Amino acid sequence: MAATIIGTGTNLKFGITSDQTGGGGMVIKSISSSASADSVELKNKSGDITAVAFRNKKVTHSVSGAYTAFSALVGAVIIVANGSSFDLAGAAYVTEVSRNRSADNFEEVSFTAVRYDGIS
């Protein structure tokens, strides 16, 4: 059931809008995305930073949820549902997958996917 949002702010987001279908499928319980890059600083003779270069940009998505039929393997290309793009053009590659089963809960799956700038 969709939530009713009361209050101000037209850009407020609540909940997760869709399930993960790429890689076989899962009901997403949580997702986080983070962008990072290496940086190299140029200092002048006084030690002041005068320029900086950013390279090796990437976005890392961590997704967990209830297993339905998830089957993506490490190294596979995947479209991450609900993932923030952070404006990188590359494809997302699965770097880690895990499944968890217990006697008193739904079977869960989690994966990490990394999108490298310009690699697709």
Residue 59 CB neighbour total at 10 angstroms:
22
Euclidean distance between CA atoms 81 and 20, whole angstroms: 5
pLDDT at 1: 60
Tokens read off for 46: 């006084």
Tokens read off for 5: 């949002």
> 100-117: string of b/e by CB count within 10 Å (b at 16+)?
eeeeeeeebbbbbbbbbb
Euclidean distance between CA atoms 120 and 110, whole angstroms: 23
Per-residue pLDDT at 110 exceeds 70: yes
Q: What tens digit of pLDDT does each residue of 23-66 get? A: 778 888 999 999 999 999 999 999 999 999 999 999 999 999 99
pLDDT at 51: 97
Q: Where are the domains of the chain?
A: 29-116
Provide the residue type at 108 as one letter: E
Q: Coil, helix or strand for 102?
A: coil
